[in-house]
Amino acid sequence: MSSILVVLWMLMASVEMAPAQLSVEITKLTQSGGTLRVALYKPGAKFGKTTPDFYKNIAINQPGNQVVSFEVPPGTYAVAVYHDLNDNNKMDRNLIGYPKEPFGFSNNYRPTVAAPDFEDCAFQLTEKGATISISLID
């Protein structure tokens, strides 16, 4: 009897862990060259301040919209993206700390004074998948 319960539990766990398709459309990509760095965070991570849970780096050969896809378990996520124009693998900032390279966040959150919190950019990814759009800020 206990072996049947273990098998049922394993089947239920595998169904819950089935990945969902997340497509992130990045718009207002106005410059060629460099690398588009797309970071996907789960709750609990220090959003934008630690290594993301998932990420992709895309070389940009020409301006225009880009779609970046992830296969991840359904759940709550937030996305941060920036166009690393000089390929130095960091977000360049001016003297007061504002980004010098194009950037954006899920929910098209627009920071005013400080960087956003996870909750500002959070969205729900269901097992059906989702497409979100992020418009870069120059």
pLDDT digits (tens, 9 = 90+) for 61-99: 999 999 999 999 999 999 999 999 999 999 999 999 999
Q: State the maximum Cα–Cα separation within the chain, in Å, rounded to a whole number.
A: 67
Q: What local confidence, expressed as pLDDT, does residue 10 receive?
A: 57
Q: Is the pLDDT of residue 2 over 60?
A: no
In which band, very low, low, confident or very high, does the pLDDT at 23 lie, cut at 50, 70 and 90?
very high
Q: What local confidence, expressed as pLDDT, does residue 65 receive?
A: 97
Helix (H, G, I), strand (E, B) or coil at 85: coil
pLDDT digits (tens, 9 = 90+) for 10-20: 555 555 568 99
The reported pTM is: 0.86
Q: What local confidence, expressed as pLDDT, does residue 110 receive?
A: 96
Are 121 and 107 a contacting pair, CB within 8 Å?
yes
Residue type for position 16 = E
Helix (H, G, I), strand (E, B) or coil at 100: coil
pLDDT digits (tens, 9 = 90+) for 29-51: 999 999 999 999 999 878 988 89
Q: Which of 67, 58, 55, 57 is nearest to 23 (CA)?
A: 67
Backbone angles phi, psi at 107, to 5 degrees: 65, 10
